[in-house]
Amino acid sequence: MPVSDEQWELIGQLTMYLGIASFLGSLAIIISYWTVDSMRNGVAELIMFMSCTKLTSAIALIIGKHGPDAGESSFLCQMQSVFSQYGDFAAMVWSSFIAVDITLIMLRRYSVDQVCKLHRRVYLPICIALPLIIALLPIWVPDADGERFYGDAGGWCWFTEKNARFRFYLLYIPFWVIFVYNAVTYITIGIHIWRQARRLQNFTALNHSAHMIDYAKNVSLYMFSYVLTWTIPSINRIHALVSGDQVYILNLLQSIGDSTVGVVDLAIYLYIWRKSLWHKSYGSHMAGPSRDNGRHTGTTRTDISTFGFRGKQQQHTLLSTLEEYNVDAANMYDGDEGSAYRPPPQAAMGQLMPLETLGYKDSISFTPPAAYSNNAINR
């Protein structure tokens, strides 16, 4: 049964209002990233960039039926098509780079600072240029009949029904390829962390592994949000391509899925941020350095942000790791940030693996200090 004009009108209105909510959700992520210091860390920068691209797709949703109503050759319709294609494709590429970040940190042992340098030098140019070329190409190049690729797609402007196969070539197939890559990445990292924890068999390794699993799990929420918002649109477009018919309920669900991406991302962003604050608060209350006769004997709780590692947490992680091997950190730390260390016998046996688990790129050596500084631990 074909979709009636009244039903298309309802879908258009719903898309517009939900698009406004999605726009505000993406905008809230961008503003909070630049204004709230606790949100400005690790992979959050990639999420912020991804939200910037989603603003363009949200604008396309807000335009709604006004695009096709203005005519397929109109500037508004063509602009809506470009915004929709660019925003959706760029967001997919950004999601793949989140998985790349996790791989570099957890498997390739890059430091967070090393990875963050890639965000604007490598990731940003790719995520701007590649999707933009793909989005603009259908405007410059006509189809086999000399007609435009972009036009009325049912509810908004995008690839026309005549060129529906390009929806899969330039969006849905790349999306599911990226999804499979992301899924394999998260599963591989989970197995890697689990194996390291079993091999080390000590509290520190298990503790750090739990934090790493929590980190990967939180970031993977964005992958599952994409599954929720893209599964129905994929089914709808496959059905329309195979049968040539439009189903009202599928188009309605696609409208809801496409238009709530920004809201879902904001909910996940706030959830991860809240957990990050909880971890920091928990760590400050549960542990801290203690001294016995001027020597450091307490266990320092490592504070790992669920978005990434920041600041001087590596220093505390180092001390905590050494303590778990029954090494007196007070005798090995002289308070000089540039000082070197010599590993204890356990480390020489290759058992200082928690440092690798935490993503250290460079090897670390240890040299016993001549004297112990009372201010070393509190830096």
233-251 confidence digits (pLDDT tens): 888 878 877 877 778 888 8
Examine the domain organization and report whether 64 and 166 are in the same domain.
yes
Q: Are residues 24 and 144 in the same domain?
A: yes
Is residue 367 situated within a structural domain? no
Same domain as 65, residue 154: yes
Q: How would residue 270 be classed by pLDDT, with cut points 50, 70 and 90? A: confident
Query: What's the pLDDT at 136?
Result: 95
Residue 159 has pLDDT above 90, yes or no: yes
Asked if residue 229 and residue 176 are part of one domain, the reply reads yes
Q: How far apart are CA 155 and CA 150, in angstroms?
A: 13
| Chosen domain end from 227, 248, 281 | 281
| pLDDT at residue 76 is higher than 80 | yes
DSSP code of residue 293: T
Mean pLDDT of 16-21: 89
**Residue 287: left if φ>0, alpha if ψ -120 to 50, beta else—which one?**
beta
Kindly state the helix (H) or strand (E) to which residue 146 belongs, with its residue range.
Answer: none
What is the number of domains present in the chain?
2
Question: Bigger pLDDT: 90 or 98?
Answer: 90
pLDDT band at 337 (very low <50, low <70, confident <90, very high): very low
Confidence label for 42 from pLDDT (cuts 50, 70 and 90): low
Residue 365 covered by a domain: no
Say yes or no: 86 and 219 in one domain.
yes
Instruction: Verify that 331 and 308 share a domain, yes or no.
Output: yes
Q: Are 248 and 311 in a shared domain? A: no
* 30, 152: one domain: yes
The burial class, CB within 10 Å (0-12 / 13-18 / 19+), for 205 is buried
Rounded Cα gap, residues 124 and 275, in angstroms: 28
Indicate if the pLDDT at residue 88 is higher than 80.
yes
Output the domain CATH number for residue 25: 1.20.1070.10
Residues 97 and 164 grouped into a single domain = yes
**Can you give the residue range of the structural domain that contains 67?**
5-281
3-state secondary structure labels for all residues of 87-131: HHHHHHHHHHHHHHHHHHHHCCCCCHHHHHHHHHHHHHHHHHHHH
Which of residues 325 and 193 earns the better pLDDT score? 193
pLDDT at residue 116 in the model:
86
Given a cut of 70, whether residue 181 has pLDDT beyond it is yes
Same domain, 197 and 268: yes
Residue 291 pairs in a beta bridge with 296
pLDDT category of residue 58 using cuts at 50, 70 and 90: very high
Task: Compare 317 and 111 and report the one with higher pLDDT.
Answer: 111
Q: Are residues 184 and 327 in the same domain?
A: no
Percent of the chain with pLDDT over 70: 65
User: Does residue 135 or residue 176 have the better pLDDT?
Assistant: 135
Per-residue confidence (pLDDT) for residue 20, from 0 to 100: 92
- The answer to whether residue 366 is domain-embedded is no
Span 138-155, pLDDT tens digits = 998 888 888 899 998 877
pLDDT of 64 strictly over 70: yes
Q: Are residues 231 and 260 in the same domain?
A: yes
The mean pLDDT value of the chain amounts to 72
